[in-house]
Amino acid sequence: MTNVEGLTVVLGRETEGYEKLIELADKKRQIIVDRDLEGLESSALEEQRISDELKSLERQRIDILKSFTDDKDLVPTVSQVIEALPEDGADRKALEEAKEAVVRAAGRMRFLNTQNEVLLKQALEMVDFDLTLFKSMRQAPESGNYGRDAYNTGDLLPSGGFDAKQ
């Protein structure tokens, strides 16, 4: 297998990894809406496993890209490798297609992550609202008594609520 073929294979496997993350992100959206904490936890664990696989594939891709140059400190990009290949070659076409597939999948993944981030923020805001509402329901209302300085004294009404005898 040539370096170009190896690079094409690694890019294809990266695309498959992103596709798995996209599928998981779609499921996660419903999990967030349903407030399923156990589902969210298992989804996060699966996401981490796939991300670890993608990180390994990224290292493989970088190693293959380094093989295209004599300078081991310089890592060419996939686009630079494509530009160096003959324009009418099958390797160039396959590598271009593999690159485009990864770019599309990564873009879709970024979009879904942004959507899920917004949903999570809204869910946290709702929880904060619920907590604030619950706390306010547990507090007794203050009286309308004012001190000499014209500020509310902060006296609480009796636990029975409004006292009509005053």
Q: Are 59 and 71 in contact (CB under 8 A)?
A: no
Residues in the chain, total: 166
Residue 156's DSSP bridge partners are 142
pLDDT confidence bin for 141, thresholds 50/70/90: low
pLDDT 10s digits, 147-160: 667 666 665 555 55
- What is the spatial distance between Cα 102 and Cα 97, in angstroms, rounded to a whole number? 9
Structure tokens at 165: 């005898």
- Largest Cα separation within the chain, whole Å, is 96
Domain architecture of the chain: domains with CATH: 3-138 (1.20.58)
pLDDT 10s digits, 75-130: 889 999 999 889 888 999 999 999 999 999 999 999 999 999 998 899 889 888 88
- The span from the first CA to the last CA of the chain, in angstroms, equals 94
- Where is average pLDDT lowest: 21-25, 51-55, 60-64, 147-151? 147-151
Q: Are 86 and 46 in contact (CB under 8 A)?
A: no
Task: Tell me how far CA of residue 32 lies from CA of 43, 45, 122, 129, in angstroms.
Answer: 11, 15, 10, 17
